[in-house]
Structure formats: C-alpha cells, structure tokens
Structure 1
Amino acid sequence: MVKCCGLVSETNIPVPLKNISVDLQVQDHIVSVSSSLQYVNEELSPLEAVFVFPLPADAAVCHFSAKIGEQEIVAEVQDRQSAKDQYDDAVSSGQQAFLLEESEESSDVFRLSVGCLSPGQKATVTIIYVMELAVQADHALRFCLPAVLNPRYTPAGSGGGIVSEVSSVSAVPYSLSLGVHVRSSNPVSKLESNCRLDPVEFLNSDHTHATVSLSPGHMFDKDVEVFVYYENTHQPTAVVEAGVATAPPGSLMADPVLMISLYPEFPEEVMSSLVSQGEFVFVIDRSGSMDCMMHHGEGAQMRIQSAKDTLLLLLKSLPMGCYFNIYGFGSHFESFFPQSVVYSQDTMEEAVKRVQQMGANMGGTEILEPLKHIYSQPCFPDHPRQLFIFTDGEVCNTKQVLDLVKSNVFSHRCFSFGIGEGASSALISGMAREGSGHAQFITGADRMQPKVMQSLRFALQPAVDNISVTWTLPDGVSVETLSPPIRVLFRGQRAIIYAQLKGQSSGSCEGAVMMKYNLKNQPVTNQINFTLKPAQDTGLAVHRLAVRSVIGRLEQEERAGGADVEEIKRKMVELSIQAGVSCVHTAFIGINKNNRETVKGPLLQRRVPTQRQSYLFGMPAMGRMARSCAARVLGSPPMFMSCAPMMMPQAQMMKCSATPPIPFYSSMIECDEISQPEEAEPQQDPLLQLITLQKAAGFWELGASLAHVIGKAEDQVTNQKPDKVDGSVWATVLALIWLNGFKKDDQVEWQFMAMKAVSWIHSQKVGTLSQCVCAGNLLLDCQVSEDMLGI
C-alpha cells in the first residue's frame, strides 16, 4: 500500500484542471504557441490556485490573459516586485488577480498564481510564447510540449526559489487537444509526432500550408513531440519585420528587425574525415533520479543502465592516442583517474570495469563542483577538450552552471544530453550553446546510443571556426547585430542572426549578409540577399525573439557583477516592458478591476496536483523504497507543483543536501513491503556483447566468446579460417561482416568501432582479404562486399 500526501481540497477533491488546449502556428522555423488551461473551483470557499510549469528555455513569453465568464483580463508586463505587490494587495482585498513569473534560477520554469476564484467559478488562462525550432539529425524541426517537470535538487545553503516548489502527487487525468498549422516558404514534406495524429491536410497545391491535429482522447501522460519536415532544408532565409509605430523612436521595438537563418550544407568529403586527437571527458549524472526508467513502455531500461551502455560504446569508439577521463557526480563527485590519461588497452579496460560498477547512488544533483574541477585541469596541447555531459537535468542553479561553461568556452566544447522526460531544457540546451557544442534530448523510447554517437562524430569532425559576418546595406541604413557571436557551427546546426536596422534608405531596398568561416583550413562563404521591405503577418515574433536574445545576454552581464548592475537591470526591465516579453526582473500581472463584487470569506490556497509516475519515484511501488524522480506534469503549461499543509515546507526540504532527496520523499510515503518474484536474468544484446569484446586498437580476438556472439560454435569459426591468416584478422573480418549483415540498421552506433577495425586491418598488410571476406560470408550466410566493409 502506498500513501501519498498530496494537495487536495477539504473534500479530498484535487483542484481540477479540466482541459488543456494548445495551438501551434509554425512559420518556417519559428513557432508561436498558444496554451489555454481550463479549470473550475468546485469547492465551497474562495480559492487561490498556484502551479509551476515548464516552458522551453529560449521561449519568449509574450501574452498572458484570463477569462472568467465573459470577462477577459489581459495581463501587462511590469517590474517584478511591483507586480507581486499589486497581486498581493488585490488578493488580500478579495479581488480576482493573476500573476505569471519566471524562476530566477532557471529560465525554463514559471509559476502562475490565480487569486480569488469564487465557489463554482470557471476560469480559462491563456499563455502565448514564441520560440525557434531545433534542428534534428534528419533535418526535421522539433517542437516539444513538456508533460514532465522534474524536482530540482537544491544544494545546501542556496535558496531554490520557484524550482524548489516542484514535487509530485497523485494521478490526475488531464486531456489535451493540440492543433498544428504550418506556413513555410518551402514545401512541407511531412509532419510526424511521437503521439497519434489525424491525417495531415494540405491547404494549398504547393504544400506550403498544412495543418494537423492530435487524435482525440489523448491523455497528457508524456511529452508531446512534433516534427516538421521541409523540402530544400538548406535554403537560407531572411525575414524583415516592421517595428511598432507607437514605440519610442530609435528603440529596438520601433525599428525593423531582421532575422537571418543559415543552415550550411558542408561537403561530404570534408566532413567524412575525422581527427584522431582530443581530450574526451565524460561526465555522468549518478544521482538517485538516474534510477528512473527511460520511459514507461515495454523494454525500458533504467537511465543509469542506458548511460553505462552508452559509455561502453564511447570507450570502444575513441581513437588510439587520445586522452580521456570519466566523472560521476551526485551530492559529490569522483573521477576514474586523477587527470585524463592516454587511451590504450590498459586504460580502456580499467575504465570499462569501473563503468560496470557504476550505480545511481551518489545522492542529489550537484553539477557545478565537478565542472569547476574539470576546468581547473590543464589542457593537453594539440588535444582539444571535448566535454560530454549526461544528466536528467534536475538542478536549481542552472544559471550559475551556464555562466561557468561560458567563462571556459575557449578551452573546450560542451556536448550535453538530457536523459528522460522532464530534463531541463535551460540546462541541457544552455550548456551546449555556451560551450559551442551540441545538445541532444533522449525522451520516450529513443535510444541514447545513436544520439550520443552523432555528437561524437561532431566532436571528431574538423571544427568550423573563424566565423565572421559582414553586411551590405543601402546608403542611410545601418545595422546593429543583436545576437551573440557564432563561435562554432556543426554540420546539421542552424545559425540564427537577429539584427536591428536603423535609418532609412532613399534608394535601393536590397541588402545582403555574408558569413565566412574556415572548414578544415579551407575558407567557405555563405551569402544571402534580402529585401528591406517588411514581411506580412509576422506578429512581432521576430522582435520578441530578438529581445529575448538581448535580455539573455544582459542577464549574464548582470550575474558577472560590476559597477553597472543597476543600469543593466534597468535596460532589461525597459526592454521587457516595451516588447511585452517577460524576464527575470518582470512579471505579468492582471487584475479584474471591473469585478464589482469582492470575494468574501477565508481564502484557501491550493497547489494544483500533478500526475504521479506509474513507477513511484523511479522504482516499482511494491517492495522498494521511494526514490526522487520526475513529477508527472499535465500541461505545458500544465506542469504544476504540489504540497500539503502537513508537510515540511518544500523549499526547506530541498535545502537538506547532506543526504540525497530520498528522505524528503520517504517522509511523505508509506510503503508496505510486498515480496516480489525473482526476475529472470535479462539476455544481453549481442551487439553490446560484440562491443565489449573489441580491443582498444580496433581488433577482435578469435575465441569462444566471439563465436557465441555471431551464433556459431567455436570449432566452426576456427575450422573455417583461411590458411596463413592471423586469428585476430579473421575474427575482425567476421565481426565486421556480422555488423554489416545483421546490425546494419544500428550502423550509427558501431560506425566508429568499424572504422578502427578497418584501420587496424590495413595496418596488418594482409594479402588475402578477399579470401577472408568470401569465407566469412559463407560462414555467416551473408553477402557483404569488401566495399561495404570499407577494406
């Protein structure tokens, strides 16, 4: 039996969110998201509802309104403290009020307070935000509607603020309706989702306008991902958006703003070459939440086990002679070696043994200290440092972490991986952005290994550097670039540039921007021409995203300190209010001033409960102690916090960092031990077994273990070996044939191992390779050519 102390009403009925309705308006690679939350106060007393929810880290929240009956209250952006004071005054006097504020610790967490709902009163809250869509490996643009907000671990001595108010409670069934409308300058080739969609409807003959909806009856029990595919994906785009006539002259909102999108297509012959040098540092989250399942479908692994399997693959894929190290972190951290070591058979074997012993047993999630330690280590000449960070993203000091990564950007590149639903987009995307790397999110039934190996390919590819941007504009027009400099650009990454256009042209209405960079010491140029004539129906999305970019840069300057902190804050508040975009120093405030009847009676505070995972805090409810894990959220804005009057205050609980978060949650849960049947030993994946057997130099040894993996008896494998062929050469050829013949679909995972194997075979100067390949095909009943093997 499991009891969860959740926040319910006095009649044991949770504060009900009836429905979530989301509308996506996609214009090329920008999306405007309108989320409406419908709920009702079913209690007999006036109510204040408070809930916390996730939004994408780089989203610009630009609209907040509430509708009660026929009365609509549109909120305004104001100074944060002033907005909170107005809200408190309104609620204490019985007026209806609404407050939306961003977390000071992490830009992907918001809190919404809805004050003074009368008994039986219905309300609909609408939040609108705009954001850029991330590019995936297959060129799709990805939108994610988060359904999960993980509890954020708060180190001792730090105030968690809004992020510490997140926890999980009992299951509450919310339904979701979602519509997607796409308009593009390029034809839409397809729309896909991880959830069931109705058939796509194209609204014109050239397929540049399409719409699709989530199939009815969807319960918001997991993140919803939507993928948009365009034809001509590498075609650059430019959009000029007109300013606001009523904005102060010369301000960002008054002038036109230009958005340039460049998605370079790099030559295959250049990008297929891989470097063999580097220092590879793998940083693995080993906090208690890594004992959660990767997803809730059939065959799901624990997060820590998937990370261990991925580490094994990475260790086998590294080039000989590079440097490497592995860190594990939780409430403390440890490293496999005092400093990075040369990659060899001995160091690899030692690392593999220690990886196999790793567990999610290091308490809370404190990533700042291991990063400080890593950055304090001297770099190796001619071996650029590549940092791979794996975490489910449950930290509260996100902005401190990002500042640290940014301050060390010239000594390393950072590749980050968000594991499981609810990983902080602010942390994962931010570390990659500030570290000039690449971010990946592993959600649902995604396999971690392909995405990680894609990032390893990026790390091993020649760096695109010395990036410069030059403008060609008519006389009388000048440009101020609003985006931060682009330091590194990978294959498959999009470069977005925002610029404010100042002045007026008396002649030409054409301009151009040229991006130059070096790729493998070769100069490359991308140029796009554009018209200064503003586009139609952009709805200030470009201005607001530009403002969000500027505010983000000002936030970092503010945290860096100095004499101009107050001036920086003033600029942020001014920009935020002018653009109607929230920031850390502002908030949306709406008060129903037309309500003639003030609410009477004591005001009850309710924190809207969230859905609990079917695995209680990541472990089966029967027979295991509870562990901290993802709180199931219902809505994007549906992720809501919960607490109960009988509990210790959440912020106080989250400060207790001497031990992992387990005591916080076990104090809320009573579990009766129930015996479980012994589970059968799971069969190991043959591919994983083959990976384990490969030596650091790239070859396999002939023996019973290899024969078992490829499904043959040892004597069969030995007897079929061609005469005068070394056993390791024969074994390596067999392994390559088996990979190409039986695991072709997983090639992205084993391609680097195969490249090492082929390189090793070439070093052996074997004269009978054709005979080996023929014999191997005969033994394994395959038809793999030497060209397919690369030998």
Structure 2
Amino acid sequence: MITSITPLRPDECEPAPDAGLGALATERGNLPLESVDVTAGISGMSARVQVAQGFRNPFDVSLEATYIFPLPDRAAVTAFRMEADGRVVEGVLKERGQARADYDQAVSEGRRAAIAEEDRPDVFTIRVGNVVPGERVTVHLTLDQPLPYEDGAATFRFPLVVAPRYIPGTPLDGEQAGGGWVSDTDAVPDASRITPPVLLPGFPNPVRLSLAATIDTAGLELRELRSSLHTVVQEGDTVRLQPGERLDRDFILRLSFDASGSLALVPDAEGDGTGDDGTGGEEGTFALTVIPQEASATAAPRDVVLVLDRSGSMTGWKMVAARRAAARIVDTLTGGDRFAVLSFDTVVEGPDRLGEGLVEASDRNRYRAVEYLARLEARGGTEMLRPLEQAVALLADRSRDRVLVLVTDGQVGNEDQILERLGARLAGVRVHTVGIDRAVNAGFLSRLTGFGKGRCELVESEDRLDEAMEHIHRRIGAPLATDLSLKGDGLDLLPGTAGHLGAIYPGVPLAVHGRYRGDAAGTVVLGGLDAAGRPWERRTAGTRVDNPAVRSIWARARLRDLEDRYAAGDHSLEEEIIATSLEYGVLCRFTAFVAVDSRVVAEGGPEHRVVQPVELPSGWAAPPVAAAPMAMNLMAAPAAMPMAPPSPAMPAGTPMPRMAAPGFAPPGGAYGGAPEPGASGAMDWMEQERERGSGRREDVLDPLRAQLAEELRRLRAAAFLRVADRLRYLVELGGRLAVLAAHHGGHARLESLAKDLREPAVDVDTLWQLAVSTLEALTAPEPEKRRPFWKR
C-alpha cells in the first residue's frame, strides 16, 4: 500500500506570457500532435507501458505528420496499432527497408498508414500519412521495460522530450535521411532523423500530456514513493501527473522497498516460434537477480581519469552540478591512486598546475584539481571523442585498476562513431558515467558503460546530487565480484544468450536475462572472484512464473548487445539482428512496425508534411541564434520563421538548434554542428583522424584475411577449455598474430590485439571476447554496396 509521496522541488522556468508571437496558426490549431497519454503498470521490477499519441490535421489538405520522441532506452517495443475513423489497423513488424516501402506505397496510393522506427535506443520516429482535414488519428505503442534497482530503490524513468544534440562532422551532400533541422554529416550520417525543430520559448502548451502509473509491489512493502521532477497526485495505488504539465523533462518515480534475489523461469508460450528446431525440447527465458551482501570492497591502487563536459549545453544548474560531482570524485581518491582531469568542449584542457599525464593523488594535487574545476564555465561544442581517446591512452598501465569517469549530459549525435573508435579499447577499463540533465541521453551513457563494465548514474536535479554522489563514490571503488560466469545446475542454459555479466558493486543487484532449454526447473550458479581474488559463488533456485515481459526484455537486451557490436564495426551481424527482432517481435534499428489501412482516403498522397516541433528541455537556456554561425555552418532561416532572442545565459558559439514556429515545415537544409576550422584546431584533428582511418579496415589485411579466419575458427573451437588452458591459448595466439602483422608490413589494430593477448591484464572472459570480436571484424567479408539501414 502506498504510504507517502514526497515531491522534490525542481528549479523550473516560467514561460514568458508574451512569447510565441509570429507562430503560424489556423482556426483548428497549429500542431498535428494533440495529445500524449502514457499508462504504466508497474509490477515489482518491471513495467508494461501503453503510449497513445493523438494526431489531428489542422490544415485544409491531407497531411503527413512526423514526430521524433524518446522512449526508455531499455524498453522493448512489442506492439503498434493505428486507429482512425472507427477503424483499427494492427502494425506488422518487418525489415526496415520493406516496412518503409510498404508505407510509401500505401501513402502514394492515398491510403492511411503509419510507421514506427527506432533511430537510437531511446529515440524513435513515427510518421502518420494521409490524415485528411479535421481528422484525428491515434497510434498506440506497447512496451515492456525493466526497472533498475539500487540501494533499496527501484526507478521508473519515462523520457518525454528528445533534447538537442551536438552534431559534429562535415555536412553530407545529397538526399537527407530525415526531416530534422540538422544536415547529415560524415560523423552522424542520420543526424536529420534525431533533430526535431524546437518550439519557441514560452509558446503556449501545445500538447496535452497525461501520465498514470499503477503500482503493484508484488508482495513487497513499499516504504516511500518519490517523484523527482513533476508534481503528482495519488489515487489509491495509481500516481498521476497533474494536468497542464509539458513534455520537457523526464518523468521519474523512485520506489523504496527491499528486494531479494530470485530466478524467474518463463517458458515460451505456444506460437512464440521457438523450441521446434530439433535441438531437444521447449525453450524459455530466465531472469536472474542477485542481491550482493553488504561488504566493503578491498581498496586497490587505481588510475582514475575524470572527463568533464563543459560544452554549451551544460549551461546553468547542470554546470554547477557537474563541477560539484567532479570535485566529489576527486575527493574520494586516496594516496595510492593516480589521476588526471580533462575538461572538453571543442578543445580538451586540464589543470596547468598538474602537468600532463597521471599524477599522485596527494592532498596538494587534489586541491589543485578541485580549484581548477571550480573555475570551469560552459562554452562551445560537445566534441566528445577526442577527450575519451586521450583518457583511454592515459590508462595504459594494466597492472593497476583502471577507471574512467565521464560527467556529461550525453547530448551528442555521434554515439556510433564514439563506440566504434573506443569499443575494443575499453576492455579492462571500468567506465562510469554521470548523466546530468532533466532530459539526459541515458541510452548512450548506458551503452558506453556496458563496454567498460561500469555503472551509469543519472542526476536530474541538484536536489538529488548528494544522493547520487554517494552511489558514485561506491561505484568507482573496487567491485565486490568480477570475472563472472554463469552455469546451470539442473537447468540447461543456452550458451551466449546472457550477454555481458559485468561486475557486482556494493548496493547494486546484478540482473541477468538469458535463455534456457527444457523444463522450467533447476538452479543457476553465478561464480567469479571477490575483490581479494578469492573464489566467489552464489546459487539461486528457479521458480516458474507467468510473465511474458521477461521474454521481450531479454530480446531487447540481446538486440542492444548485437547493435552495439555492429556499431563497434562488426557489420556482419545485420542479418542476425533482423532475424532476432522478427522472431521475438521486438522493434530495433533494423526493423520497423508498419500499419496500412486498405481504404483510400486521399487522392495522390499527402499535400502537406510537418515535422512536429518539440519542447526545449526544462532548464535549458534559449540559444543565441545570432551568434550560432560562429560555431557551426548554419543556413539562413526563412524570413517567416521567428527566432528566439539572444540569451546571455548561453555563451556565443554554443551549437544549438534553431527555434521553430509550430506548423512550419523546414525546406530541407539545416546545420552541421562542426566547430569552425581554425577556431580551436578541432576540425584539423578530425580531418587527420579521417585520414588515419583508425576505425577503418586497412588494405594490408587483404593478403592475410584467410589466415585470420582460420585463427578465428580455431579460437571458437577452443571456447570450452579450462580457464588456465584458455589463457595459455590466448597468449600463444597473441604471438602468432604479432608475427602475421609484422610479416605483412604492420597493422595497428592487429598489433594492438596481439599485445593485449601476450600481456594479459584483464580476466580471461573479457580477453576472449576481445579476441573473438576483433577477429570477426577483421575477417568479415566486404559488405555489399547497400544503402545504410536508416536510408533504405
């Protein structure tokens, strides 16, 4: 039973009453999106959410409306339907190119249609075509999401706005991937799909928002319920937003209760399409939750690099919170540690008084670092790749515990480029991210920590900073258990389905989803090493449950893992990603839901197209449009489009999107957020990187690709050796790869892998995965000359 609701006061900006002048309007209204209704059913550690988006055509001609919106990054979208004129059309999940072709054909023939696509783990696009004048069309999404549980509290977070993202790179010529305000660039080739226009500050609330969450604690005692950024009201076991709220920040509920370890076994239902492969019986999905015992991890000497985002989007309370967070992290260091501090915008800087490289974490050096952090102010663009590469280069001593901490709002568009450059190099480095924003890019920050076996902590207000820093303090210490492995006792676990196990940290339960074959009975044994290097083991007996969300949540996690490996360079995974998405009915970046009505309602297709403008996130200052060309290539805005006045709160040169009048359809081009050449040298560095081709397969590979393929085959065959034998095999493999690279004139990526294998400094599983993924990427056949999946 709910006992209390504790609202936390956000620092909200009141809209100016006279803003929004010059906006286009009609008698029926001025925006196609009328309403967003979110209904969540929270049960224990998961939630099933229904999202309904209502569109209305305010024009006198047929309309195609496009809406770019966020969803929780770990949510599995499992169903889609369209309702209009008393008709209900269920969506069908198809390969993305085929779904688009079906949608385009239907729209061109005058039939009503809708399509839902994923562009990032937390950014989606819906298009509704042939909405006739005055008509209302509602599209519905069904999704399942896990609730992270840490330090005695589960968190339900539902994002409501896609914040503006910094877009680096050189604008691309030719057809754009989407209808956003930013041109596609070589660093973000789908930038125009993730950059909706932004409403004028103070524009009257254009969209009716309703959000209700019904809470079933599944037998647990709920001690406290807190809403972080919104005012809510309680009606029995249901919590609702007060009317009039805007879609400008994340909705967050924290539920305090005591969870316990468990193993849920969920057999596949009839018709799920699994278990008929001749491999011996039915299949199902398991969900393992391991609650760590309260214990102090043994402190080990650490090398810590703190990377702080000081770009223009960090203006205001975010910069204050980021400085405080960074200073607190520095204060946690001990005399045996070494550290470095890097701050970045379009350039990378550090404390002059500390010099270059890692320094001892003495009282004097920590004081100098905190003094430097206290003077930082927000400015410039978010060129994130370079400081992260510098941080990884500093963490080269594999004899020490290596930790990278990134403090940022994560508002960049080149996530895939960053993961491709850094993915393999993060093996053995624990990456922790601190996301500071009311509409944080949680998807990217979680993906980054996944590569580095770390944790992601999200801070949505200064009120929560102290609580979050207590969590972070424990996370950057040594984990309680590492080198984790999973095996079944009486339960036949399917190999390779559990993904990365990561590590166990104080106060943070480990949640693992995977697949099994056979009867839904037995025990799972989680083993590893504790902080002192001693064997560690936890056994959990399984219980058969009826919870279909477990299957879809596992499928989404599996797809996310495959998509991250694809982003890191293994493009051979495309067919497996599509097959997994279609088999389990979960949307991903390579598939799309499409709903097509059979009735013809408009001759010749839509006559008007509108990209729905979105709110400027709460707490963001309006960009100084007049100063924007100093930092980026900005095309002249149409005279009819009103602009926001310059704001002294955000410095000149901050790359931000234009403010848009609702109902105005962009004429095509926009901006690329590349910094001005010569201003900081960042463009020169990016050009050098492109020439160097660090993420590209080099021609020297051609004569030895067959030999590498044979090594990969033998490596896979040796996967079932004992740990000591696997380690010995990896060291020998490193020697052979070094000879191959030297004999063929050198190859940077191959030489780096050989060095990692010959001088192992991480656990065998991590090293094994690094070897397999690198060899897969180097031996994958040249891809067919197909268009990128976001342009098909």
TM-score of the superposed pair, with normalisation by structure 2: 0.71
Say whether 1:143 aligns with 2:156: yes
2:610 is matched with which residue? 606
Q: Are the aligned partners of 2:24 and 2:663 in contact in 1 as well (CA < 8 Å)? A: no
Matched residue, 1:223? 250
Supply the AA of the counterpart residue of 1:282. L
**Which secondary structure state, in structure 2, belongs to the residue aligned with residue 543 of structure 1?**
helix
The one-letter code of the counterpart of 1:479 is L
> Match for residue 542 of structure 1?
550
- Map of 1:738 onto structure 2: none
CA contact (8 A) 1:165 1:641 kept: no
Match of 2:285 in 1: 258
Separation in structure 2 between the aligned mates of residue 39 and residue 643 of structure 1, nearest angstrom: 13
- Residue in structure 1 matching 2:191, options 133, 157, 161: 161
| 1:649 pairs with 2:669 | yes
Give the 5 Å matches for 1:188-199.
188-189=221-222, 190-194=224-228, 195-199=230-234
Partner Cα separation in structure 2 for residue 237 and residue 482 of structure 1: 16
- State the partner residue of 2:786: none
Establish whether residue 283 from structure 1 lines up as the match of residue 307 from structure 2: yes
Shift of residue 392 of structure 1? 0.9
The answer to whether residue 344 in structure 2 is matched with residue 344 in structure 1 is: no
Tell me how far apart the structure 2 counterparts of residues 367 and 97 of structure 1 sit (CA, whole Å).
39
SS of the equivalent of 1:186 reads: coil
Distance 1:60 1:354 in 2: 43
Matched AA of 1:319 = T
Give, in whole Å, the separation in 1 of the partners of 2:676 and 2:284.
46
**CA positional deviation for 1:419:** 0.9
> Is 1:131 matched up with 2:145?
yes
Aligned pair in 2 of structure 1 residues 125, 496: CA closer, same or farther (>3 Å)? Answer: same
Q: Hey, what does 1:422 align to over in structure 2? A: 439
Deviation string, structure 1 residues 15-65 (Cα, Å, up to 9, x no partner): 143322111122321111111112311221111111111112222111111
Q: Report the CA distance between 1:457 and its aligned residue.
A: 2.2
* Bigger Rg, which one: 1
Given candidates 483, 488, 496, the residue that maps to 2:498 is 483
Taking the aligned partners of 1:141 and 1:135, their CA distance within structure 2 comes to 4
Between the aligned partners of 2:662 and 2:498, the Cα distance in structure 1 is 38
Does 1:117 find its partner at 2:131?
yes
* Contact 2:433-2:456 within 8 A present in 1 as well: yes
Letter of the 1:355 counterpart:
L
Residue by residue, what CA displacement relative to the aligned partner does 1:442-469 show, whole Å, maximum 9, x if unpaired?
A: 1144343442342122222454213222
**Residue 537 of structure 2 aligns with which residue?**
525
Relative to structure 1, is the Cα distance of residues 312 and 500 closer, same or farther in structure 2, using a 3 angstrom cutoff?
closer
Aligned residues of 1:110 and 1:162 also touching (Cα < 8 A): no
Moved more, 541-550 or 162-171: 162-171
Post-superposition Cα deviations, 1:323-344, rounded to whole Å, max 9, x if no partner, equal 1111112223223332111122
What SS does the aligned partner of 1:176 have?
A: strand
Q: CA RMSD in A?
A: 3.3
Q: Distance in 1 between matches of 2:531 and 2:667?
A: 59
Return the offset for 1:3: 7.9
Aligned residues: 614
Shift of 1:541: 1.8
Pairs within 5 Å for 1:353-372: 353-361=371-379, 363-372=380-389
Q: For 1:432, which of 449, 471, 474 is the aligned residue?
A: 449
Q: Distance in 1 between matches of 2:657 and 2:254?
A: 25
Q: Which residue among 559, 569, 578 is the counterpart of 1:573? A: 578
| Aligned-residue offset at 1:147 | 2.4
Distance verdict in 2 for CA 1:325–1:647, change over 3 Å? farther
Cα gap change, 1:656/1:377 in structure 2, threshold over 3 Å: closer, same or farther? closer
- The answer as to whether partners of 2:165 and 2:411 remain within 8 angstroms in 1 is yes
Q: Secondary structure at the match of 1:199?
A: strand
What is the CA–CA distance in structure 2 between the aligned matches of 1:659 and 1:172, rounded to whole Å?
41
2:216 to 155, 169, 183: 183
Which is worse superposed, 235-244 or 465-474? 235-244
Structure-1 separation of matches of 2:541 and 2:194: 48
Closer/same/farther in 2, CA of residues 407 and 24 from structure 1, 3 Å limit: same
Structure 1 CA distance, aligned partners of 2:108 and 2:504? 53
Q: Pick closer, same or farther for the CA change 1:641–1:415 going to 2, 3 Å.
A: farther
Q: 1:555 aligns with which of 559, 563, 576?
A: 563
TM-score (norm 1): 0.71
Given residue 149 of structure 2, which amino acid in structure 1 is its aligned partner? V
Equivalent pair of 2:274/2:282 in contact (CA under 8 Å): no
Change (3 A) 1:392 1:560: closer
The answer for the alignment partner of 2:107 in structure 1 is 91
- What CA distance in whole angstroms lies between the structure 2 residues aligned with 1:591 and 1:434? 39
Q: Secondary structure at the match of 2:522?
A: strand
Residues 569 and 90 of structure 1: CA distance in aligned 2, closer, same or farther (over 3 Å): same
Cα distance in 1 for partners of 2:504, 2:106 equals 50
Specify which of 59, 62, 75 is matched with residue 75 of structure 2: 59
- Preserved CA contact (<8 Å) 1:63 1:129: yes
Give the letter aligned to residue 611 of structure 1.
E
In 2, the alpha carbon distance for the partners of 1:312 and 1:585 equals 41
Inter-CA distance 589–235: structure 2 relative to 1 (3 Å threshold): same
2:234 is paired with a residue whose SS is coil
Separation in structure 2 between the aligned mates of residue 289 and residue 470 of structure 1, nearest angstrom? 45
Alignment CA distance shift 1:121-1:481 (3 Å): same
Match of 1:73 in 2: 89
Q: Deviations over 1:50-82 (max 9, x none)?
A: 111111222211111111021111111111111
SS at match of 1:401: helix
| CA displacement 1:496-536 (0-9 Å, x = unmatched) | 22232224x5xxx63111112332324433221124x5x33
Unpaired runs of 5+ in structure 1? 202-209, 294-301, 634-639, 662-791
Gaps of 5+ in 2: 1-15, 171-185, 625-643, 681-792
- The separation in 1 between residues aligned to 2:75 and 2:22, in whole angstroms, is 31
Deviation at 1:234, TM superposition (A): 2.5
Cα pair 1:41 1:118 within 8 Å, conserved: yes
> In terms of mean alpha carbon deviation, does 82-91 or 121-130 score higher?
82-91
Alpha carbons of structure 1 residues 647 and 118: separation in structure 2 relative to 1, 3 Å = closer
Mapped partners of 2:656, 2:226: distance in 1: 26
Secondary structure in structure 2 of the residue aligned to 1:431? helix
| Separation of aligned partners in 2, 1:64 and 1:544 | 15
Contact kept, 8 Å, 1:198 with 1:214, in 2: the verdict is yes
Q: Distance in 2 between matches of 1:609 and 1:490?
A: 41
8 A contact 1:576–1:583 mirrored in 2:
yes
Q: C-alpha displacement at 1:161, in angstroms?
A: 3.2
C-alpha offsets along residues 117-143 of structure 1, whole Å, 9 cap, x if unaligned? Answer: 000101111111111111233x21111
Q: Could you tell me how far 1:492 is from its partner in structure 2?
A: 2.2
- Residue identity opposite 2:101 in structure 1: D
Equivalent pair of 2:609/2:665 in contact (CA under 8 Å): no
How far 1:641 moved relative to its partner? 12
2:402 to 381, 385, 389: 385
Worse overlay, 411-420 or 312-321: 312-321
Give how far 1:197 is off.
3.3
Shift in Å, 1:389: 0.4
Assess if the C-alpha contact under 8 Å between 1:279 and 1:340 holds in 2: yes
- CA distance in 1: counterparts of 2:566 and 2:674, whole angstroms: 25
Structure 1 residues 41 and 329: alpha-carbon distance in aligned structure 2, compared to 1, 3 A threshold:
same
What amino acid is the match of 2:122?
Answer: D
- Give the deviation of 1:632 after TM superposition: 13
Contact 2:109–2:605, Cα closer than 8 Å, also in 1: no
Q: Identify if the C-alpha distance between structure 1 residues 457 and 409 changes in structure 2 by more than 3 Å, giving closer, same or farther.
A: same
Q: Deviations over 1:729-787 (max 9, x none)?
A: xxxxxxxxxxxxxxxxxxxxxxxxxxxxxxxxxxxxxxxxxxxxxxxxxxxxxxxxxxx
Residues 405 and 435, structure 1, Cα contact 8 Å, conserved in 2:
no
